[in-house]
Amino acid sequence: MTQVRVPPRPRTIFTLAGVPVQVDPTAPVGAIGVWGMCWLLVGRRYPGRSVALRALLTCLWTGLFFSVFFLHSLGHIVSARAAGAPMGALVITATHWLTWYPNSGVPPQAHLGRAAGGPLANLAGLLIGHGLRRVLPSGPLGRDLAEAFLAFDAAIGAAALLPTPSFDGGALLKWSVYAATSSFPRAGRAVQAAGLGVSGFLSVLGLGALSSGRRWTGLVLAVSGLIAALESTRRE
């Protein structure tokens, strides 16, 4: 995901390929949220298993989720360097994972290059996951882990490509339109229109899920649609 704002009081916890990975005081809330999501997913995937096995698998799936996130971020780090516009920091808060670039005054091709790296890394992740799936033995501690990795990789890659302003898809659309037209207003309008389209699509899907009794799916889709609408109408 692409952003330029840096939250208050970030603290560097380690470096990823030479780029500081920083957290703010709210970051643990996000990590707990991911753990809770994995707890629910593991419960649905393996109903009736012991609490100990569910907790173990939840920890493993949480690790897989973050490994996919860091793979995505590594893609941005590598592509930003190749584009001559390196990343300054990767900043994690409760609600956002920000790829912070200190230099925004770079050519459109550099913006496109550094935005493309994350989704391309997810594509590489899909190939790695498929390879692991073929060699691992079946079972919750074998092939199923490769399948969870594949699912997280596909989900994060697809979400990143949504054409809303803070996401890679929005950056790719904005700078593609700008490269073609040399017009910032047209590029901005294109991203706003695409974001509102995504918002409407997610909201309709959410209402459909709610009306068919899938409460949690409907709620997640409806909230995602609302966030996409707010993102798209936000002034940059």
Query: Which region among 34-42, 161-169, 178-186, 214-222 touches Zn ion (by CB under 5 A)?
Result: 161-169
Minimal distance, residue 76 CB to Zn ion, in Å? 6
Among 156, 160, 171, 221, binds Zn ion (CB under 5 A): 160
Query: Which region among 23-31, 78-86, 128-136, 156-164 touches Zn ion (by CB under 5 A)?
Result: 156-164
Task: For residue 160, give both structure tokens.
Answer: 């990143």
CB atoms within 10 A of CB 131: 11
Q: Hunting for tokens 């790719």 — which residue is that?
A: 172
**Number of chain positions touching Zn ion (CB under 5 A):** 4
**CB-based contact 53:140 (threshold 8 Å):** yes
Query: Which region among 9-17, 132-140, 158-166, 179-187 touches Zn ion (by CB under 5 A)?
Result: 158-166
Tell me which residue of 116, 225, 94 sits closest to 170, measured CA to CA.
116
> How many angstroms separate the CA atoms of 223 and 8, rounded?
26
Among 144, 153, 168, 231, binds Zn ion (CB under 5 A): 168
Site for Zn ion in 86-145 (CB under 5 A): 118
Task: For residue 96, give both structure tokens.
Answer: 């956002």
- Sorted by sequence, the CB contacts under 8 Å of residue 9 that are 6+ apart come out as 24, 25
Minimal distance, residue 225 CB to Zn ion, in Å? 20
The residue ranges that bind Zn ion (CB under 5 A) are 1, 118, 160, 168
